[in-house]
Structure 1
Amino acid sequence: MAIIGNIIKGVIQLKDALSSEINHIEAQEKMLKALLTQAKDTQFGKHYQFEAILASENIKKAFADTVPYFDYNKISTEWWHKVVDGEADITWPGKPSYFALSSGTTGKSSKRIPVTDAMIEAIRQSGIKQVFALNNFDLPADFFEKEIMMLGSSTDLEKHHEFMEGEISGISAHNIPFWFKGYYKPGEDIAKIDDWDARVQQIAERAESWDIGALSGIPSWIELMLQSVISHHNLNTIHDIWPNLQVYTSGGVAFSPYEKSFNALMGKPVTVIDTYLASEGYIATQIRPETDAMQLNTENGIYFEFVPFKPEYIKNDGSLDQAAPIVTLDQVELNQDYVLLISTVSGAWRYVIGDTIEFTDVNKAEIKITGRTKFFLNTVGSQLSVNKMDDAMQHLEEKFSTKIPEYTICAKRAEDGEFYHFWYIGSKNLTLGHMEVAEALDAYLKTANKNYKVARSKALKGVKVKLIAPEKFHDWSESNKKKGGQVKMERVMNEERFKIWETFIEKP
């Protein structure tokens, strides 16, 4: 009998029974006041007159009117470079304990994003919220006694001047509470291994000694780890070695493109719970099984704002036009893509995180990630967002009975001088006809996206498809950064980047 599991589940149920429904609008108003109050004596707070904003009749409006939008390059050039150099009280009181290294989905150079003790606590509180939300998923008591495999970047953080640096998943795992370490796998020793392949090999060799009940990590790297374990032990599915695996907490990217290939590794259904942990903070988590949307963490260290996602507001580099209008949580609408802005306890202010979202339930503050500002393909008016591309890949999976976990696209002129969408699609079934797949993809997008259909009748000549092994995408990620962790494949490339990609793919 799962005695400890029943106790833990009972505590979770009691906490849920005693909790009241969050008023997200009020929570956000309190959060903004708290952020401004704590940062008013920093260099940033003095420069943008936080005390005057706090004294205004409408704090949200005064904040939006006074403080400009910042992307990483702007805030780093103007403010965070001082933090990196060791200065205190720049955009947040004191100095951060860590810097989260993030190269995002493009480029080799790492961004250094401050992670304060206040942010570590905010992430911890959001993690506790996620744990208590498990009560909504009707999991058996013995689940709460099983081990959790958290597959992120290395927890062996590097010293840079007076700060510790690493990817946010490594920083988070580095700060797990003592009482959780007995449940945490692969354990501190293996988690410190920096080389991805060596770490996964150790996991595969130790897998038999663990009773894994839950997985957590980015889908593409979780899949590779599971494949390694299955191959090492000559299994049919992962449930042959981890029969009690019941939950997968996804994050970092949309799960839908990986759903078919992920399920192929399972011996029985697994509950998938989406989360949204970025280098800048823990944005949102799924709290109920009726939807795969995630609830914004409105109480834990982040103030949210939203810009309607329209081509006229987005510059070519994905940054926002300063004249773009803003809406707050009390003004958002359904069926509208928004560029997400955050202000945080790590000293990010009106920061363009680079993601686009839409609300599925305004009262519950539930959202879905719909794409990236840089991955919005509007060449010759096609207006394709990542979620439309993901939907198209799912359509191809069903039509051709295949799995497509990875893809990338570029809009450019072909040798005939006409514009085409060039797609590289990762599939194990390389016997499919390229032309046949291209025609099916083109036909679907015409039906699913009216702007694409109009573009196809004018300047967009057609679609060209190349099918390649999914492993090529992983090799590309490794060649540009490293495997595992927070590394994600870029879905849309510009022409310069695409030339490098094609040269890489053509190598024997």
Structure 2
Amino acid sequence: MAILGSIIKGIIDISDKVIPESNPLEEQEEVLKSLLEKAKDTQFGKHYDFNAILESENPATLFAEKLPYFDYNSINEAWWSKLHEGETDVTWPGTPHYFALSSGTTGKSSKRIPVTDEMVDAIRMAGIKQVGALAHFDLEPDFFEKEIMMLGSSTDLAKRNGHEEGEISGISASNIPFWFRGYYKPGEDIAKIEDWDERVQHIAEKAEEWDIGALSGIPSWIELMLEKVIEYHNLNNIHEIWPNLQVYTSGGVAFQPYEKSFNALLGKPITVIDTYLASEGFIAFQARPGTDAMKLVTDNGIYFEFVPMNPDYINQDGSLVQDAPVISLADVEEETDYILIISTVSGAWRYLIGDTIAFTNKERAEIKITGRTKFFLNTVGSQLSVNKMEAAVQELEEQFDIKIPEFTIAAKRNPEDDEFYHYWYLGTETSVSNEELADALDKSLQEANKNYGVARSKALKGVFVNTVNPEIFYEWSGANKKKGGQVKMEKVMNEEKFAEWEEFVQKQLTN
């Protein structure tokens, strides 16, 4: 009998019953007031007169009126850059002990996003809330005695000018509670290895010594790790070495595009729980079964605002136009795409995180990620969001019984007729012709998206598809950024980046 597991499960069950039902609207009001109160004497707080906002009858309204929207470039240039010059109390009291490095999915140089001690605590508390939510899932007591494989970036953080920096998954893993370290795999020594391939090789070599019950990480890199373990031990599936694997906590991107290829590595079904941890904070997690939506963390250091998704509100560089309308949590509508804006205990204010979301359940504050503002393809009016692209790709998987874990797309002129076409690269191994795939993809998108259908009848002349081994996508990430961690493949490229991609693909195919 799993005695320890029964105790832990009992504690989680009791805690879930004791904790009262949350009120997301009231929680958000309190979070905003707390953020303003703590930051009112910072340079930023004095500049935007946080005291006046706090004393107003409607702080949320005045907050939205007085503060502009920021993206990384604008807030870094005006404010966060001062931190690197030794200034203190800039956008948050004191100076941050950490900076999260994030190249995102666009841009060649890493962003340096402040991570305060309050944010480290907030991420930890959100993780504890997520563990508490496991009471809603049908997990046996022995699950709570198994080990957890957390596959992120290296925990060997770089020391620089009085702070430490690394990817947010590495910062979080380096701050795990002492009582959790016995459960945590691959362990501190392997987790510090910077080189992704070397780290995964060590994981494969040690895999049979561990009793893994849960996995956590970005789907693409988790898949590659599982494939390496399976190959190294000459297995049919991962359950032959980790028979007690029951849960996968996905994060960083939507899991659905990877579902088919991921399940092919398993010997039996497991519970998939979505999370939304970004470099800027722990945004949301799946709190109950029966849905793939995630509950916003509304009581823990992040204040949310929402801008309706409209191409007219987005500048060419992906930033927001300053007169874009904003909506509070109280006024959102379900199944409507919004651009997510956050203010946090790390001193991010009205910050464009770059993701679009939609509410599936307003009362529960449950959301799903629908795309990226920079991944919104609107050349010649096609208005394609990432979730529409992913849904069409999933239809291809079902129609042709193939796996397509990765893809990228660009809109560009065909030199033969000087007309616009969509050029797709699908990461898949199949004998289905490119022409068949292009035709099916085009039909699927026209049926699902009215704007795309209109564009196809006018300025968008057609679709081209090329299929390549999915490994090429991961090698591209390795060549342009690095493998593993929070690195994600860009789904939409501009013509310049796409030309680099096609050149890279050709080199890989000829080597």
**TM bracket (short chain):** over 0.9
State the shift of 1:84 in Å.
Answer: 2.2
**What's the CA shift for 1:399?**
0.8
Task: Quote how far apart the aligned CAs of 1:272 are.
Answer: 0.2
**5 Å matches for 1:167-182?**
167-182=167-182
CA shift for structure 1 position 86: 2.5
1:162 match: 162
Name structure 2 gaps, 5 residues minimum: none
Q: Which residue of 2 aligns with 1:300?
A: 300
Partner of residue 126, structure 1 = 126
**Counterpart residue number, 1:197:** 197
Superimposed CA distance per residue, residues 33-64 of structure 1 (whole angstroms, 9 cap, x where no aligned partner) = 00000000000000000000001111000000
Task: Summarize the alignment of residues 202-281 of structure 1 with structure 2, pairs less than 5 Å apart.
Answer: 202-281=202-281
Question: % of aligned pairs identical?
Answer: 70
Is 1:102 the counterpart of 2:135 in the alignment? no
- Structure 2 distance, partners of 1:329, 1:113, is 25
SS at structure 2 position matched to 1:165: strand
Displacement after TM superposition at 1:412 (Å): 0.6
SS at match of 1:54: helix
Q: Aligned partners of 1:98 and 1:314: how far apart in 2? A: 30
Offset, 1:138: 1.4
Indicate the residue corresponding to 2:67 in structure 1.
Answer: 67
Instruction: Give the alignment of 1:424-503 within 5 angstroms.
Output: 424-429=425-430, 431-503=431-503
Structure 1 residues not aligned, in runs of 5+:
none
Alpha-carbon RMSD across the aligned residues, in angstroms, is 0.5
CA distance in 1, matches of 2:37, 2:107: 36
Q: Alignment partner of 1:458: what SS?
A: coil
The 3-state SS of whatever aligns with 1:101 is: strand
Q: CA deviation at 1:87?
A: 1.4
Output one character per residue of 1:364-413: Cα deviation in whole Å (capped at 9) or x when no partner: 00000000000000000000000000001100001111000000000010
Q: Which residue of 2 aligns with 1:319?
A: 319
Which residue matches 1:150? 150
Partner of 2:185: 185
Aligned to 1:48: 48
Partner of residue 29, structure 1:
29
Deviation at 1:121, TM superposition (A): 0.5
CA distance in 1, matches of 2:105, 2:426: 17
Question: Aligned partners of 1:17 and 1:446: how far apart in 2?
Answer: 47
C-alpha displacement of 1:336: 0.8
Contact map agreement 1:86 1:162 (CA 8 A) in 2: no
- CA distance in 1 between counterparts of 2:57 and 2:287 reads 35
**How much does 1:165 deviate?**
0.3
SS of equivalent residue, structure 1 residue 368? strand
Q: C-alpha separation between the residues in 2 aligned to 1:395 and 1:299?
A: 38
Q: Aligned letter for 2:364?
A: K
Distance 1:196 1:111 in 2: 20
Shift of 1:108: 2.4
User: Secondary structure at the residue paired with 2:159?
Assistant: strand
Q: Which residue of 1 aligns with 2:399?
A: 399
Q: Secondary structure at the match of 2:360?
A: strand
For 2:127 and 2:81, how far apart are their aligned partners in 1? 30
Q: Structure 2 counterpart of 1:28, which letter? A: Q
User: Which amino acid is 2:426 matched to?
Assistant: I
The separation in 2 between residues aligned to 1:405 and 1:84, in whole angstroms, is: 39
Partners of 2:280 and 2:163 in 1: CA distance: 17
Q: Deviations over 1:51-104 (max 9, x none)?
A: 000011110000000000000000000000011222110000001010000000
Is this contact kept in 2: 1:156–1:192, CA < 8 A?
Answer: yes
2:36 partner SS: helix
- Cα deviation for residue 448 of structure 1 reads 0.5
| Conserved 8 A contact 1:425-1:467 | yes
What is the CA-CA distance between 1:160 and the residue it aligns to?
A: 1.0
What letter matches 1:155 in structure 2? T
SS in 1 for 2:79: helix
Q: Deviations over 1:137-186 (max 9, x none)?
A: 01000000000000000000001110100000000000000000000000
Equivalenced residue count is: 507
Instruction: Using the TM superposition, name which of 261-270 and 313-322 deviates more.
Output: 313-322
2:165 and 2:86 mapped to 1: Cα distance?
A: 14
Structure 2 CA distance for aligned equivalents of residues 238 and 273 of structure 1: 18
Amino acid corresponding to residue 357 of structure 2 in structure 1: I
* Paired AA for residue 418 in structure 2: G
User: What are the residue-to-residue correspondences of 1:321-340 with 2, within 5 Å?
Assistant: 321-340=321-340
Alpha-carbon displacement from aligned partner over 1:260-308 (angstroms, at most 9, x marks no partner): 0000000000100000000000000000001110000001110000000
| Deviation string, structure 1 residues 198-224 (Cα, Å, up to 9, x no partner) | 000000000000000000000000000
The one-letter code matched in structure 2 to 1:342 is I
Task: Name the CA distance, whole Å, in 1 between partners of 2:128 and 2:284.
Answer: 12
Partner of 1:116: 116
Code of the aligned partner of 1:240: E
Whether the 8 Å CA contact 1:36–1:50 is kept in 2: the answer is yes
Distance 2:187 2:164 in 1: 20
Distance 1:108 1:161 in 2: 22
Partners of 2:2 and 2:453 in 1: how far apart? 57
Partner of 2:385: 385
Residue 420 of structure 2 aligns to which amino acid in structure 1?
F
Distance 1:194 1:428 in 2: 30
Q: 3-state DSSP class of the match of 1:354?
A: strand
CA distance in 2, matches of 1:223, 1:341: 31
Describe the superposition over 1:10-55 as per-residue Cα deviations: whole angstroms up to 9, x where unpaired.
0001101111110000000000000000000000000000000001
Which residue is 1:364 aligned to?
A: 364
| Residue type of the alignment partner of 1:392 | A
1:318 Cα deviation from its structure 2 partner = 1.2
Q: Secondary structure at the match of 1:355?
A: strand
Q: Is the 8 A contact 1:107 1:480 kept in 2?
A: no
Q: Verify the 8 A CA contact 1:294 1:367 in the aligned structure 2.
A: yes
SS of the equivalent of 1:408 reads strand
Which residue in the other structure is 2:422 paired with?
A: 421
- Offset at residue 432 of structure 1 (A): 1.6
Instruction: State the match for 2:5 in structure 1.
Output: 5
Q: Offset at 1:107?
A: 2.6
Name the amino acid aligned to 1:135: A
Q: Secondary structure at the match of 1:176?
A: coil
Structure 1 runs of 4+ with >2 Å offset = none
